[in-house]
Structure 1
Amino acid sequence: MSASTPGAGTVVRRILVYVILLALVVITAIGVSGLLERVLGAGRELVADDAGLAASLAFTFIGGPLAGVLWWWQQRRLADPAERASLTWALYVAAATTASLIVFSTALASVVSDGIAGEWEPEAASVAIVWAAVWVLHGLMRASSRISPTRLPTLPVLLGGVFGLAMLAIGAVDALAELIAEALSFAEPVLAGGTNWWLTVLQAAVTAAIGALVWWWHWFRQRGRDAAGAFADVVQVVVTGALTLTALFGAGTVLFVILRLLFDTDPIAEVLSPLDTALGAVLIGGVLWAYHYPVLARRGSSVLRASRLVTSAIALIGAASGFGVVVNALLATFTATLVDDDPRTLLLGGLSALVVGFPVWWIAWRPERSVAAEDAADTGRRVYLIAVFGASAVVAIVTLLLIGYRVFEYVLDPSGFSGFVERVRAPFGLLAATVVVFAYHFAVWRRDRALARTIEPEAKPTIGRIVLVSTASEADALSAYFRDQLGVRVSTLRAAETVPAADPEAMPAVVDELRGISAPTVLVLAAGAEGARVIPLTD
């Protein structure tokens, strides 16, 4: 085991300490907010809650000091660079920061919304105040040059930005949906949001405004937009995919409503009922996607390619589901149905999903273009193809089992309530869609595999291990840096303290030099302003 790799006891100790510390922070915050609630709500209590008061006092005056003592003991260890570079410390800061942000933001939205309605809820106000303090405290920890995590430093920023964006989107969709519902109230009085529809709009707008502030703080002020690294790329792809899903789902629902208005005979109020939320999802999801997609595209071709694959997968699920529903509805026309069970509505729903999903899948996947050998060998594309036809195979097996069950059920009891076609039409539609998806993607995967074999494999530089010689004060940080950047096992030898420390700004150049070396062992002498001297060893 290398000197820079922590032992099992150290890892277990870190996990236990930070889990206990997080639990004590939560307990203390609950206790303090309970006491503050009684102060803010003085005179409102009709029945004395001695049990609740006792719990709040215990949580505050026992959990608080225990959390303080544990933090005092642990923060002294953070003077060690290895402790600051530990994954558990980074995860603790991210978990505590994100959880406190979520709790205080939602509580603040509740307080303001209740205030608009002329109500006062001291419980929500106390929760917002206490958890805001917890969030600020952990933000100061993350900003401290002495104890801030050196591993995954942008994780809390990215998670906070995602939460703020989600809060903004939900509030904006709700506000817009209420406005649209009020505008559509001419169709049927039940569509109106009520006499105080404007109150609902304002409350949803408050949620959107708080979410926008949280997102702005993390995205711009904390520079989450410019965060580097693989995790930041994944977050950007996931956010763009979620916005794509929101917009496509809304667009499919809008088209479904339009088709029902044209071809269905149901009451207009019933037909228009999902239109408000669907339009809100299309508009808000589309606007946010239009902002995020160019930002994602600037992160590089690999990230853009991953986003296209995610979009393709989302659209494919929608199109395949629509195709299966269409087959289901067509089979329903051959069976005697109940008066209220009109397959026309089912058919229109399937057509909506198919018409919206298929063009988006075509644009994202571009099946008409010729695929170069380099594209066929792309890892993301190969994983996508295997995942799609693998999932399709699993769904097909399950669906076949369900069809078999329905067939035997009909054979054993042909006089049942439903006929044979009625029993199997839903799983058969799903099976038809799954078979089409599996056949196409399996054929593409086989073609890509044949193309990829035509590429001559390139010999890539490889390093078996790195032997790092540096001063004791920087050995742990440097070894963690080389291990994270190169994925190579690192062992350390401690130089005397009289040796000058290496210049940190020269380390990226050293990493670039190491990437071009092939050797079983490489000696790295880290000292002085030049950064480090790299010496490949033959043995």
Structure 2
Amino acid sequence: MALGGAILWPWHWAHSGGRQRGQPLRHFYLYAFALLGGAAVAIAAAATALYGTLAWALGATAEAAGLHFRFLPGAVSALLVGVTLWAYHWLVAQREQEEAAARRTYDYLLTAQGLGALVAATLLLVATLVALATEDARGTVASRPGWWRDDLALLLTLALVGVPVWWYHWWRRQRAAASPQERASLARRLFLYGSLALAVFASLGGLSHLLYLLVNALLEADLSARVAYDGRWSLGVLAAAACWGPYHWLALLEDRRRAPEEGELPPAKLVTVLVGEDGGAFVEALEAHLGQRVRVLRRADPGVGAPSVSPEGLQSLAGLIAAASGRRVLVVADAQGVQVYSYR
């Protein structure tokens, strides 16, 4: 199977990839399958290696080191495969899309993965604390001394993996949220509304289970710490929803507060700048005036030079780009001046 895939995938990718560029199915493959899948494989492999190491260090297993770490070659192999898949398709996505859109989609996918790990860590933390507080309520807990070591290893793994993945990519998107285009983007809205919806549904499910346990205990006249122990996972779900749901609700409210009045939001432009090799300063200045990243194409013609544009000229150029009739704009800049073209 692996040999067949190694033969068929490059052939199909080389022959049909170019014709499908820009198509929704190709975007689905790049982002939902390749990028998200590669990241998931890499993160899962790293988490597996980290969890196994922490479990051994904390004494959660009585196995000898050689026997315990037999999982390590498989985890390292999966990590290399995931990172390779992830890196290659991210480079492809950067080449094929306007860079800001590609980076945005990529960041929100990774933010969602990191958030999932943090939610699981919050849930496990609460469930473990409740189990420790009520360990006499069930004999199965008291009969396993040191049972919490394994939970602690898993909790640390989720936190150590989830925090950097979530924080770095969410921090990038929050910095970009000063732009109206970022706040109005589909990827951001899907992430925020999806997080809120999951928090609400999880809260309803956890609360329903707790109410069932409570009513059942009252009817049987057996209201004790066992109710809390049996409902520890539901308590964890409620705690995770209470932590992360309101946070994303506040982020959504902040987006709405900073949004301009209806009709004032300019349409997002996909700007491509064609410049010579020495046009880097012009591109940076234009990005600063536009408040967004642009796609850069380098001219192969020798000696085209770079334009000399004043701040007032850059402001005027930004106005021309915003007023362009189409969503896609090409800016051609050389020593002779700057031209703006709108295209489909």
For Structure 1 versus Structure 2, the TM-score category normalised by the shorter chain is: 0.5 to 0.7
Counterpart in the other structure of 1:431: 238
Alignment check: 8 A CA contact 1:324 1:432 kept: yes
Stretches of structure 2 that go unaligned for 5 or more consecutive residues are 136-140, 269-323, 327-344
Amino acid at match of 1:252: A
Q: Determine helix, strand or coil for the equivalent of 2:53.
A: helix
Q: Name 1:355's counterpart in structure 2.
A: 160
**Cα distance in 1 for residues equivalent to 2:175 and 2:74:** 37
Q: Is 2:112 the counterpart of 1:313?
A: yes
CA distance in 1, matches of 2:59, 2:223: 30
The Cα shift of 1:276 comes to 4.4
Alpha-carbon spacing, 1:358–1:209, altered in 2? closer, same or farther (3 Å): same
Distance in 2 between the 1:212 and 1:225 partners? 21
Q: Which has the larger radius of gyration?
A: 1
Aligned to 1:422: 229
Distance change (3 Å), C-alpha of 1:256 and 1:224: farther
Which string of whole-angstrom CA distances, capped at 9 and with x for unpartnered residues, describes residues 238-279 of structure 1? 120111111111111211111111102422268546544433
Q: CA deviation at 1:325?
A: 0.7
Amino acid at match of 2:168: I
User: What is residue 285 of structure 1 aligned with on the other side?
Assistant: 82
The residue correspondences of 1:212-223 to structure 2 (distance < 5 A) are 212-223=6-17
Aligned to 1:339: 143
Cα distance, 1:411 vs. partner? 2.9
Q: Does 2:257 match 1:450?
A: yes
TM superposition shift of 1:209? 2.4
State the Cα distance separating 1:236 from its structure 2 match: 0.6
Alignment CA distance shift 1:406-1:223 (3 Å): same
Aligned counterparts, 1:68-107, within 5 A: none
**Superposition deviation, residue 302 in structure 1:** 1.5
Q: 1:516-535, aligned counterparts within 5 Å?
A: 516=325
Once the 2 structures are TM-superposed, how far is the Cα of residue 446 of structure 1 from its aligned partner?
Answer: 0.4
Unpaired stretches in structure 1, ≥5 consecutive residues:
1-206, 461-514, 518-539
State whether structure 2 residue 129 is matched by structure 1 residue 330.
yes
Matches of residues 12-51 of structure 1 in structure 2 within 5 Å? none
Asked if 1 retains the 8 angstrom alpha-carbon contact of 2:113 and 2:165, the reply is no
Letter in 1 for 2:156: L
| CA contact 1:323–1:351 (8 Å) conserved in 2 | no
Is it true that 1:412 corresponds to 2:256 in the alignment? no
Give, as a single letter, the amino acid of the residue that structure 2 aligns with 1:402.
Answer: H
Q: Does 1:371 align with 2:177?
A: yes
Letter in 1 for 2:229: E
Deviation at 1:221, TM superposition (A): 3.4
C-alpha displacement at 1:285, in angstroms?
A: 0.7
- Whether the aligned pair in 1 keeps the contact of 2:183 and 2:255 (CA below 8 Å) is yes
Equivalent residue, structure 2, for 1:183: none
User: How far apart, CA to CA, are the structure 2 residues paired with 1:253 and 1:459?
Assistant: 45
Give yes or no for contact 1:326–1:350 (8 Å, CA) kept in 2. Answer: yes
Measure the CA separation in 2 of the matches of 1:425 and 1:208: 43
Does the 8 A contact of 2:214 with 2:223 survive in 1? Answer: no
1:248 aligns with 2:43: yes
Q: Distance in 2 between matches of 1:400 and 1:352?
A: 27
Q: CA deviation at 1:362?
A: 1.1
Partner-residue secondary structure (3-state), 1:227: coil
In structure 1, C-alpha distance between the alignment counterparts of 2:41 and 2:205, rounded to whole Å:
28
* Local SS of the residue matching 1:267: coil
Residues 221/325 of structure 1: CA separation in 2 closer, same or farther (3 Å cut)? same
Counterpart of 2:31 in structure 1 is: 237
* Residues 285/226 of structure 1: CA separation in 2 closer, same or farther (3 Å cut): same
8 Å CA contact 1:237, 1:303 repeated in 2: no
Q: Which residue does 1:7 correspond to in 2?
A: none
**Aligned counterpart, 2:91:** 294
Shift in Å, 1:413? 3.8
Q: CA deviation at 1:386?
A: 0.9
Deviations 1:39-83 (A, max 9, x none): xxxxxxxxxxxxxxxxxxxxxxxxxxxxxxxxxxxxxxxxxxxxx
- Between 1:361-370 and 1:230-239, the stretch displaced more is 361-370
Go from structure 1 to structure 2 and tell me whether the alpha carbon gap of 1:438 and 1:225 turns closer, same or farther (over 3 Å shift): farther
Structure 1: how far apart are the matches of 2:197 and 2:208? Answer: 17
Q: What is the aligned partner in structure 2 of residue 208 from structure 1?
A: 2
Distance 2:61 2:224 in 1: 26
The whole-number CA distance in structure 1 between the counterparts of 2:63 and 2:249 is 44
TM-score (norm 2): 0.67
Report the CA distance between 1:316 and its aligned residue: 0.9
Q: Which has the higher contact order (CA 8 A, sep 6+)?
A: 2
Assess, with a 3 A threshold, how the Cα gap between structure 1 residues 411 and 350 changes in structure 2: closer, same or farther. Answer: farther
Q: Match for 1:266: what amino acid? A: T
Q: CA deviation at 1:444?
A: 0.1
Letter in 2 for 1:408: V
Shift of 1:292: 1.5
Letter in 2 for 1:359: P
* Equivalent of 2:247 in 428, 432, 440: 440
Task: Name whichever of 333-342 and 232-241 sits farther off.
Answer: 333-342
